[in-house]
Amino acid sequence: MNHWLFKSEPEEFSIDDLKRVRKEPWTGVRNYQARNFMRDQMRVGDLGFFYHSNCPVPGIVGILRIATPASADRLQFVPDSDYFDPTSDPANPRWACVDVAFERKLARTITLDELKARDDLGDFALTRRGNRLSILPVTTAQWSTILNLE
């Protein structure tokens, strides 16, 4: 099984939002590397951390599960959407997304500060300098180390 980390701004879509709707297409990814993770590497049943970014206390707040294989992100064809891409061809859509399902909230937020302070996570994509990816891979070792902090 592969593990992932999904960033979301809680003012846009929080772990509580996912808990309420149970399942949600992860639309709006407009970065090729992040898209490729969803399209090429994610498998139904993979687990991911739900990370709150751009907020007072950035950190990991919950766990989600990949619920569907990637399919076309419908928002790329919605002219009124912030994520509209007029250059995407409906016959060959550029952007894809998986559906994610709520798994559980963590008992507490594992903060970015805490993660940065650790020296046992190895090369962790989240704390790499200048990292801006909204979806990133987490190794099995990192996954269990982080979960043990809960």
Partner DNA sequence: GCCAACGTTGGC
Q: Please give the residue ranges that form the binding site for DNA (CB under 7 A).
A: 7, 9, 30-32, 53-55, 58, 112-113, 116, 129-134
CB of 101 to DNA, least distance (A): 22
| Chain-centre distance for alpha carbon 149 | 20
- Residue burial 94-121, b: 16+ Cβ < 10 Å; e: rest: ebbbbbbbbeeebeebbbbeebeeeeeb
CB of 95 to DNA, least distance (A): 11
CB of 12 to DNA, least distance (A): 10
Alpha carbons 74 and 10: distance in angstroms, whole number: 22
> Given the complex with DNA, which of 2 and 36 has the nearer CB atom?
36
> Given the complex with DNA, which of 41 and 54 has the nearer CB atom?
54
